[in-house]
Amino acid sequence: MNKVSIIIRHEFRQKIRSKAFIIMTLLAPALLALLTAIPILITLLNVNNGKHIVVVDATTHLSNYFTVDSSIITKLGKNFSSAEKIKVDILSSPASNNTTLDSVKHLLGIKQIDGYFIIPEQAINDTNAVALLKMNNTNDLLIEDYISSRYGDGLFTERMRLSGIDANVVRTAQHAHKIETVKVAEGKEARDNGIGFAAGYICGFFIYLSMILYGSLIMQSVIEEKSTRVIELLASSVRPIDILIGKVIGVGAAGLLQVMIWAIMFALVSWFALPAILTSVGTGITTLLSPVLFIYFILYFLFGYLIFSTLYAAAGATVEQASDAQQVTLPITVLIIIPFITISTVIQSPSSTLSIVLSLIPFFSPILMIGRIFSETPPFWQILLSFVLMGATFFGVLWFASKIYRTGILMYGKKFTLREIVRWVRYS
Amino acid sequence: MNVVSVESVTKRYGSALAVNSVSFSIGEGCIFGLLGPNGAGKTSTIRMLNLITLPDSGTIELFSESQKPEHQNRIGYMPEERGLYRKLPVREQLEYLGALRGLSTQQLKKNIDYWLERFEIENWAKKKTGELSKGMQQKLQFIAALLHDPDLYILDEPLSGLDPINADITDEIILELRAKGKTIILSTHRMEQVEQLCDEIALMNLGSVVIRGSLRDVKQHSGKKMVKFIFDGDDAFVSELSHFPVRIAERHPNELLVEMLPSSSTRELLQYLSEKTNIVTWQTIETPLKEIFLEAINGNPALSQN
């Protein structure tokens, strides 16, 4: 047992001191932060050059509808901050007035304004009348949406008024339906906003990535020991299964440390910078920060890591170069990819029989069960059962892998087919 | 006391018979030469002694007990295929390998200092192993076998890659270890090293031990009469020797080793040779090990087909 701990310590120290590990640990959250910050930065930059539109209203009745109102922009589903700088000047003048048109055209030409909007005289009476929006940049959907919505609203109200109907009555009648989506988790209610789906998907994706990443890390380390032949010396000092266990636990501890560092960084960021975001997305995100979910996440991460890194270690023992590893890792990769492909289906209908069965298959549980837990907490017995199955699978995999590992590390000089490798398990 | 006792050990890899009912024993303070051509089963035997693999049948006793994992701490192993972590600094490399042999941190530091100094690579302690020359890595590999002061040393080709000075240091250390009562298994193709160092030998071929015993006994048992000539000048005469009742064992540009067959006379041969060439020196010698081995191996019909 003592020798296992020496190997664990060695592997752990080697991993956390490697440049790749340090860069990964620091860079990944920075990258994530950058990805979050970019849209905000772009918005901030946009605000600086506000938009200036001139509305030429030949009907002289629609002017009032074009005053900039933030609530209208919010209703359009746009970010208010970027709309703050829309400036609209209204000229109530008949379209025949060529001087007005010429000067507006001139202003657009010298980029004094960003566009102008001409409302024809007959707009209210003639439903076929065409208004004209001329802009420097026709890709600016915000302005187009804003102008179109204001113009439509103005026409609607004015036409109603001409027919003697109160437009507000019609509006109220139209808007009188609202639906609120509520997620029920552990007896508590929380507004969902689709955050559960996203979080389940992200967590599943993270576990998927880490299983492949840490798995291939272990595989490379096994291949390195084999190709440098240092394994001969190790095997003369320690039982092969102890080397295997020491490696898996040592690298796993480094991986866990990495995840913990990320979690702490995330917690700190949410502590200081998140209140603003919290208010905008609501209570959904606080559910996600609950310690219970975090513990589940760590447990599924660990079980997934244990099962797959052990398999990858065995795969590494059967080859001499990383480039030869593809053939033997294929069956393992398939076991990881299947849950990754099915995760969105499972999260969308977490309680369907298919979802329950798939998420209980121990090779799939680390990705699928965590997805289900975030989108709709499954019955506790299913979670417990998945842990029992994963635990049993890990010991089965360890038994299987240690046989392959023990034989593989001493075999040189040829590529082995899967059939031969299976024979090692049977005869050793 | 027998440090190693191997009894009818057999090991198969699939259908290939790597070691076939091998038996030998090695006493304390003995340098034991485990010899044989490539593929004879030496490495397979060594792996079983090291508890890397287990015999299919037969028994191995170490230190008069049945083999058990704890014995690994009392064995120092220098594998034929050298292997060290390339990216690990020298000292850390030794610390890790030493710790795996059950050495305490304090003892480790002391022993590493001693051996790095002895091999004059103490200035390289912080360098990455991969940056060291091949010869230095070789020394490091040897230190890894010596570090934990084991009782049994298994050294597979310890001299390969070493210059004559370091080869001498290695031989010196091997003799030192024997003087301390340690047991050494030496596997090598260098017959002159075997003749200089080994007390006992076993020759393996095709998985079996063909010759076994003390170096003295093996040599005397051969009972051949060999004569070595060193001459100066043209060696064309050698091909004309065929009418003499002698067998040419070794032929070099200025040296000739012949086995005198029962009916031949040294005097006649000398007389003949002195007419043909200028003999610098000659002597009758013991049969060299190489000669004995070649005969033992080539006498085996299976191998002579190759």
Q: Find residue A382's DSSP bridge partners.
A: none
pLDDT averaged over every residue in chain B: 88
pLDDT classification of A69: cutoffs 50, 70, 90: low
Query: Is the CB of residue A422 less than 8 Å away from at least one CB of chain B?
Result: no
Residues in A closer than 8 angstroms to B47, CB to CB, are: 410
B209 in helix, strand or coil?
A: strand
pLDDT classification of A424: cutoffs 50, 70, 90: confident
Q: What is the pLDDT of residue A48?
A: 46
Which position has the token pair 């709309």?
A83
Residues in B closer than 8 angstroms to A233, CB to CB, are: 77, 79, 83-84, 97, 144
pLDDT averaged over every residue in chain A: 81
Short-list A333, A341, A392, CA closest to A362: A392
Residues in A closer than 8 angstroms to B84, CB to CB, are: 228, 230, 233
Q: What is the pLDDT of residue A97?
A: 65
Structure tokens at A199: 């979080």
Q: What is the pLDDT of residue A49?
A: 58
| Average pLDDT estimate for B234-250 | 79
Q: What is the pLDDT of residue A181?
A: 62
Handedness of CA B100, B101, B106, B112 (dihedral sign): negative
Q: Which H or E element spans position B59?
A: strand B57-62
pLDDT classification of A44: cutoffs 50, 70, 90: low
Q: What is the pLDDT of residue B52?
A: 92
pLDDT digits (tens, 9 = 90+) for B145-176: 999 999 999 999 888 888 888 889 999 999 99
pLDDT digits (tens, 9 = 90+) for A6-21: 999 999 999 999 888 8
How far is it, in rounded angstroms, from Cα B158 to Cα B141?
9
Cβ–Cβ of A6/B101 closer than 8 Å? no
Contacts with B25 (C-beta within 8 Å, 6 or more apart), sequence order: B2, B4, B5, B6
Q: What is the pLDDT of residue B191?
A: 86
Cβ–Cβ of B84/A239 closer than 8 Å? no
Describe chain A by its helix, strand, coil percentages, rounded to 5: 70, 5, 25
pLDDT of residue A268 exceeding 90, the answer is no
pLDDT of residue A365 exceeding 90, the answer is yes
| B102 to chain A: closest CA residue | A3
pLDDT classification of A185: cutoffs 50, 70, 90: low
Q: What is the pLDDT of residue A94?
A: 65
Q: Judged by CB atoms within 8 Å, which residues 358-417 of A form the interface with B?
A: 410
- pTM summary value: 0.74
Q: What is the pLDDT of residue A180?
A: 64
| Average pLDDT estimate for A240-262 | 92
pLDDT classification of A50: cutoffs 50, 70, 90: low
pLDDT of residue A403 exceeding 50, the answer is yes
A89-98, A418-427, B15-24, range with the lowest pLDDT = A89-98
| Average pLDDT estimate for B264-283 | 82
pLDDT classification of A66: cutoffs 50, 70, 90: confident
Q: Give ipTM to 2 decimals.
A: 0.83
pLDDT digits (tens, 9 = 90+) for B197-228: 999 999 999 999 988 999 888 887 777 778 88
Q: What is the pLDDT of residue A68?
A: 62
Cβ–Cβ of A236/B86 closer than 8 Å? no
A191-195, A293-297, B180-184, range with the lowest pLDDT = A191-195
Total number of residues shown for chain B: 306
pLDDT classification of A72: cutoffs 50, 70, 90: low
How far is it, in rounded angstroms, from Cα A10 to Cα A4?
10
pLDDT of residue A252 exceeding 50, the answer is yes
A222-236, A396-410, B35-49, B280-294, range with the lowest pLDDT = B280-294
Query: Is the CB of residue B75 less than 8 Å away from at least one CB of chain A?
Result: yes
Short-list A84, A313, A297, A329, CA closest to A204: A297
Contacts with B150 (C-beta within 8 Å, 6 or more apart), sequence order: B73, B74, B75, B76, B101, B182
pLDDT, greater one: B58 or A100:
B58
Residues in A closer than 8 angstroms to B51, CB to CB, are: 236
Q: What is the pLDDT of residue A428?
A: 63
pLDDT digits (tens, 9 = 90+) for A153-172: 888 888 888 888 887 888 77
Say what percent of chain B tops pLDDT 70.
Answer: 97
Query: Is the CB of residue B72 less than 8 Å away from at least one CB of chain A?
Result: yes
Q: Answer whether B202's CB lies under 8 Å from B34's CB.
A: yes
| Average pLDDT estimate for B290-298 | 82
Please report how many Cα atoms fall inside a 13 Å half-sphere around the Cα of residue B268, on the Cβ side: 10
Q: What is the pLDDT of residue A368?
A: 93
Q: Answer whether A217's CB lies under 8 Å from A251's CB.
A: yes
Q: How far is CA A371 from CA A189, A204, A295, A391, in A?
A: 19, 6, 14, 19
Cβ–Cβ of B52/A410 closer than 8 Å? yes
Which position has the token pair 């209703």?
A75
pLDDT classification of A191: cutoffs 50, 70, 90: very low
| Average pLDDT estimate for B277-297 | 83
A38-52, A73-87, A325-339, B287-301, range with the lowest pLDDT = A73-87
Q: What is the pLDDT of residue A11?
A: 93
Say what percent of chain A tops pLDDT 70.
Answer: 80
Say what percent of chain B tops pLDDT 90.
Answer: 50
User: Which of A232, A412, A427 to mutate to probe the B interface, most B CBs <10 Å?
Assistant: A232
A185-199, A205-219, A290-304, range with the lowest pLDDT = A185-199
pLDDT classification of B301: cutoffs 50, 70, 90: very low
Q: What is the pLDDT of residue B262?
A: 76
pLDDT classification of B302: cutoffs 50, 70, 90: very low
